[in-house]
């Protein structure tokens, strides 16, 4: 049984979908439950279409916390051998209600390498970690963070990298046509961002970098895809000065817009292992990202992408200008190496096999 916070297809939810879809159904019966919502074209709807059992607790407001007890009932009905969660709130609920319901194996997730955390979250994590049998981190840095922060035994943490599917998609979304649809000429240089509009993602530094670039080259535009708590603030900030920035809002299957970008920029202040970087590399789109979290485990600076320090809009502007100035052969050399790295190290079959092997080993009682 997988427990997720939301049905919006962010990074963790994409992993849950792919695992549920691809795991050996002769060995595993799967159920997926979300804490907050069951959105149209979201995780649960997609899973139902392929015959996966789903549930939703409907805790979309804080005062609906009493609905957490539904999780106890669902666990008792489904009787899972393994209960796995991925993010903070679902980790806490899974640990508590999994133990109360007598689930044999409880697995938590470590998705972000956080440079800071509220005192409440720190305490909630610290005093429930003992309820887990294993923590799966999607980065080595996440594993190191857990060991350093909570003094956990390394044997209680397993690293499984995210996987993405590399496939040729139909060319229905042409760059020139799409740019004309949103009011541009079609010949612009496009810097793209895809992700949640939260403080973590550092989008304000991209906005500031675009202001710098706009004073030098008015043909460079930034397309920002996503939504979040910072959206209104960021849109207001971007509108306070010229910067050629267009907010496109939430897009389902946002990765299809990568082919419109000349560069993907992810200026995060902290990270785990962003799927969007892997997806861009798999589509041979140059990536600029910050030296945080798992980014450094994906990108070799100057070889498969480009890294810079977080929170530095001046450096980001220069890096964007430098990458846009690459020759065709230089660009190809980097993007081909990037795609090969994703194919070899971050593919979906490898990820699914590692999860399956982990589950079977835990169920057998053997050490990992």
Phi, psi torsion values for 290, nearest 5 degrees? -90, 155
Whether 294 contacts 139, CB under 8 Å:
yes
Asked, for residue 268, whether it belongs to a domain, the answer is yes
The model carries a pTM of 0.93
Query: Residue 198, class by beta-carbon neighbours within 10 Å (0-12 exposed, 13-18 middle, 19+ buried)?
Result: middle
pLDDT tier at 129, thresholds 50, 70, 90? very high
Question: Residues 78-90: what's their mean pLDDT?
Answer: 97
Does a structural domain hold residue 170? no
In a domain, 169, yes or no: no
Average pLDDT of the residues in 348-361: 98
Three-state secondary structure of 326-355: CCHHHHHHHHHHHHHHHHHHCEHHHHHHHH
Task: State the pLDDT at residue 64.
Answer: 86
Same-domain pairing of 148 and 193: no
286-297: average pLDDT: 97
Mean pLDDT of 160-187: 85
For Cα atoms 3, 273, 328, give the angle at the middle one, nearest 5 degrees: 140
Task: Tell me the average pLDDT across 316-337.
Answer: 97
Q: Contact, 304 vs 310, CB < 8 A?
A: no
Two structure tokens written together for 101: 């319901």
Confidence at residue 118, expressed as pLDDT on a 0 to 100 scale: 86
Same domain for 317 and 274: yes
Mean pLDDT, rounded, for 143-166: 94
pLDDT level of residue 248 (50, 70, 90 thresholds) = very high
Whether residue 316 is found in the same domain as residue 270? yes
pLDDT at residue 298, rounded to an integer: 97
**145 plus 188 within the same structural domain:** no
Q: What CA–CA distance (Å, rounded) separates 276 from 258?
A: 9
Q: What is the dihedral of CA 165, 203, 267, 172, to 10 degrees?
A: 30
Query: Would you place residue 170 in the very low, low, confident or very high pLDDT band (cuts 50, 70, 90)?
Result: low
Q: What is the pLDDT of residue 254?
A: 86
Host domain of residue 228? 175-345
Given a cut of 60, whether residue 344 has pLDDT beyond it is yes
Segment 263-267 mean pLDDT: 98
Are residues 335 and 356 both part of a single domain?
no
pLDDT (mean) for 283-308: 97
146 lies in the same domain as 25:
yes
Report the pLDDT value the prediction gives residue 282, as an integer from 0 to 100: 96
Kindly state whether residue 86 falls inside one of the protein's structural domains.
yes
Consecutive H or E run containing 266: strand 263-266
Mean pLDDT of 40-64: 94
Question: Is the same domain home to 158 and 200?
Answer: no
Task: Please list, in sequence order, all residues whose beta carbon lies within 8 angstroms of the beta carbon of residue 256, skipping any fewer than 6 positions away.
Answer: 169, 173
Tell me the angle at which helices 203-214 and 313-324 cross, rounded to the nearest 10 degrees.
60
Beta strands 189-194; 263-266: pairing state: parallel
Q: What is the CATH number of the domain that holds 33?
A: 3.40.50.2000
**Does pLDDT of 115 surpass 90?**
no
pLDDT of residue 242: 78
Do 260 and 241 fall within a single domain? yes
- Evaluate whether 113 touches 272 at the Cβ level (below 8 Å): yes
Q: Is a pLDDT exceeding 70 seen at residue 171?
A: no
Residue 270 lies in a domain: yes
Q: Which has the minimum average pLDDT: 17-26, 64-73, 201-210, 352-361?
A: 64-73
pLDDT band at 167 (very low <50, low <70, confident <90, very high): confident
Look over the chain and give the mean of its residue pLDDT values, rounded to a whole number: 94
Whether the pLDDT of residue 291 is over 60: the answer is: yes
158 occurs within a structural domain? yes
What letter does residue 63 receive in the DSSP assignment?
G
Do 125 and 206 have their domain in common? no
Residues 92 and 50 in one domain: yes
pLDDT attached to residue 338: 98
Please give the average per-residue pLDDT across 305-315, as a whole number: 97
Mean pLDDT of all residues in 164-176: 76
CA dihedral 291, 295, 297, 298 (to 10 degrees): -130
Residues 140 and 227 grouped into a single domain: no
- CB-CB contact of 142 with 161 (8 Å): no
For residue 107, give every residue at least 6 positions away whose Cβ sits within 8 Å of its Cβ, in sequence order, or none: 82, 83, 84, 85, 132, 133, 134, 135, 136, 362
Give how many domains the chain has, as a whole number: 2
At 123, list the tokens. 């305490």
How many percent of the chain have pLDDT more than 90? 88
What pLDDT shows up at residue 183? 92
Question: Is residue 147 exposed (0-12), middle (13-18) or buried (19+ Cβ within 10 Å)?
Answer: middle
Does the pLDDT at position 269 exceed 90? Answer: yes
Position 172 pLDDT exceeds 60: no
Q: State the CB neighbour count (10 A cutoff) for residue 149.
A: 13
Partners of 109 in the β-ladder? 136
Q: Residue 205 pLDDT more than 90?
A: yes
- Same domain as 185, residue 157: no
Within a domain: residue 201?
A: yes
């Amino acid at each position: 049984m997988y427990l997720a916070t939301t049905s919006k297809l962010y990074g963790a939810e994409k992993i849950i979908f792919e695992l549920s879809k691809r795991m050996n159904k002769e060995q595993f019966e799967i159920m997926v439950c979300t804490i907050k919502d069951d959105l149209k074209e979201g995780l649960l709807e997609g899973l139902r279409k392929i015959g996966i059992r789903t549930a939703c607790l409907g805790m979309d407001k804080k005062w609906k916390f009493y609905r957490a007890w539904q999780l106890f009932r669902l666990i008792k009905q489904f009787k899972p051998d393994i209960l796995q969660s991925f993010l903070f709130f679902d980790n806490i609920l899974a640990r508590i209600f999994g133990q109360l319901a007598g689930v044999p194996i409880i697995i938590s997730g470590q998705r972000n390498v956080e440079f800071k955390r509220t005192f409440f979250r720190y305490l909630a994590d610290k005093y429930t970690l003992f309820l887990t049998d294993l923590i799966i981190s999607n980065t080595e840095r996440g594993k190191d963070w857990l060991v350093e922060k909570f003094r956990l035994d390394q044997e209680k943490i397993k690293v499984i990298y995210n996987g993405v599917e590399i496939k040729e998609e139909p060319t229905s979304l042409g760059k020139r046509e799409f740019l004309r649809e949103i009011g541009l000429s079609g010949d612009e240089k496009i810097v793209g961002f895809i992700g949640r509009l939260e403080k973590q993602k550092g989008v304000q530094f991209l906005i500031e970098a675009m202001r710098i670039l706009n004073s030098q080259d008015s043909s460079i535009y930034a397309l920002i895809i996503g939504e979040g708590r910072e959206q209104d603030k960021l849109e207001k900030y971007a509108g306070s000065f010229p910067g050629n920035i267009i907010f496109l809002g939430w897009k389902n299957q946002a990765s299809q817009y990568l082919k419109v970008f000349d560069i993907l920029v992810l200026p995060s202040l902290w990270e785990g292992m962003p799927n969007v970087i892997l997806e861009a590399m798999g589509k041979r789109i140059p990536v600029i990202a910050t030296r945080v979290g798992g980014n450094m485990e994906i990108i070799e600076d100057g070889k498969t992408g480009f890294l810079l320090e977080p929170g530095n809009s001046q450096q980001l502007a220069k890096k964007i200008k430098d990458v846009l100035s690459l020759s065709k052969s230089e660009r190809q050399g980097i993007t081909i190496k990037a795609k090969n790295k994703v194919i070899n190290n971050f593919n979906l079959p490898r990820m699914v096999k590692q999860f399956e092997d982990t589950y079977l080993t835990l169920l057998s009682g053997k050490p990992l």
